[in-house]
Amino acid sequence: MVILADDLGYGDAGCYGQARIKTPNIDRLAAEGTRFTQAYAGSTVCAPSRCSLFTGYHTGHARMRANSEVYLGKRDVTISEILHDAGYRTGLFGKWSLGTLGTEGYPNDKGFDEWYGYFSQMHAHVAYPQLLLHNRGEVNLTGNWGTSRKQFANDLFTEQAVKFAAGSRQPFFLHLAYTIPHADNEEGRDTGNGMVVPSDEPYSKEAWPQQERNFAAMITRMDGDIGRVLEACDARNTLVIFTSDNGPHKEGGHSPEFFKSSGPLRGIKRDLYDGGIRVPSIVRWPGVVGEGKTSDFVWAFWDMLPTLAEVAGTRAPAGLDGQSIVPVLTGREQKPHEYLYWEFHEGGFFQGVRHGKWKAVRKGLGGKLELYDVAADIGESSNVAAGNPEVVGSIERYLATARTDDPNFPVKG
């Protein structure tokens, strides 16, 4: 089971240092599993990050490298297809950014037996939609017609996930893709408060701005829903991975500074500094993954497909950027990637590299490289490129070969 939050920052859960937002179920996952401190998302925004997770490619090779109308095709092999072919019952509930109705990337055409969620990534910006999709049909949410706000989408995703998990009589793969704490961009545009949630409890009496009470309530509500889903699973046999698609947002009237959502990291969503791409990641697998452990092993979303393929006893496609981290999960030594690579195509062209303790970012193919020692400087505050020319040279060599051109995502600036 992979549970994916939307725009949840590295510092937004209690087990990652959050002091004011209550996340007892996420914290319990960490206590019963392994909490990773150097796990990275596929990108700093939603669609390319999820593409990396599902296909095993980083954004230098992935089909989707930005939030756009480019979707997965028939040739793009996904986790859900691999596990479906291996005999797993597969279910997706929530947000799917990789293919809409009428495209080859539609969930039911990419290995999912059961699918319930939004029409598109843009549709997922609405917390109280009037329609959702269930497999290839529409579901009318009459409680949200007109000005009514009675059917909160994330509550419905939880109900469907609980039903799916409790009713499975065979091995299953469940992907629960919440839209919390993403802003409701439609309502936020009208009211200035895009932090939309049925209730601001248990923070109603806090002397915080309403947007921040709602933001905290969204996360705690999701945490309670995660608890319900976990109860519906057979904990003895269920591998659970909890993570977020990218760093925290500054949208809908919310300030990521209010709760220190990036924790000690620099940057937020749409940055290639670690605050935009280093994410909370917890793995629980009773009897297999160490309990109450913390790991600083460096890995990224494109490792998810080969990892789950190995867990399922099947093979991942050849030529992926990802590698299985099953050795780390089972307490064995493992050689990390030589480097991790990201590129981002909004407001110019940006690249990022993680190589050992070094982190590099630059703007434009000919831009000047910034270099940070994130082991000593987790906040990426001191650019040490001038004092480390050999490291800069190594990273520039990686950058020269890390990507292939894609006409859908031309390099600009």
Residue 413 lies in a domain: no
Assess whether 190 and 323 both reside in one domain: yes
Assess whether 347 and 255 both reside in one domain: no
Residue 384 neighbours by CB distance under 10 Å:
15
Query: What is the CATH number for 150?
Result: 3.40.720.10
57 closest CA partner among 406, 408, 407, 403: 403
Residue-level pLDDT, tens digit, the chain, 413 residues:
999 999 999 999 999 999 999 999 999 999 999 999 999 999 999 999 999 999 999 999 999 999 999 999 999 999 999 999 999 999 999 999 999 999 999 999 999 999 999 999 999 999 999 999 999 999 999 999 999 999 999 999 999 999 999 988 889 999 999 999 999 988 888 889 999 999 999 999 999 999 999 999 999 999 999 999 999 986 558 999 999 999 999 999 999 999 999 999 999 999 999 999 999 999 999 999 999 999 999 999 999 999 999 999 999 999 999 999 999 999 999 999 999 999 999 999 999 999 999 999 999 998 999 999 999 999 999 999 999 999 999 999 999 999 999 999 999 76
CA separation for the pair 295, 239 (Å, rounded)? 17
What pLDDT, on the 0 to 100 scale, is given for residue 235? 58
Cβ atoms of 282 and 13 within 8 Å: the answer is: no
What pLDDT, on the 0 to 100 scale, is given for residue 237? 81
Q: Is the pTM of this model over 0.95?
A: yes
Assess whether 24 and 124 both reside in one domain: yes
Assess whether 28 and 128 both reside in one domain: yes
Residue with structure tokens 């009589």? 169
Cβ atoms of 46 and 390 within 8 Å: the answer is: no
CA separation for the pair 30, 231 (Å, rounded)? 16
Per DSSP, 412 falls in state -
Query: What is the CATH number for 363?
Result: 3.30.1120.10
Assess whether 250 and 392 both reside in one domain: no
Structural domain of 389 = 340-401
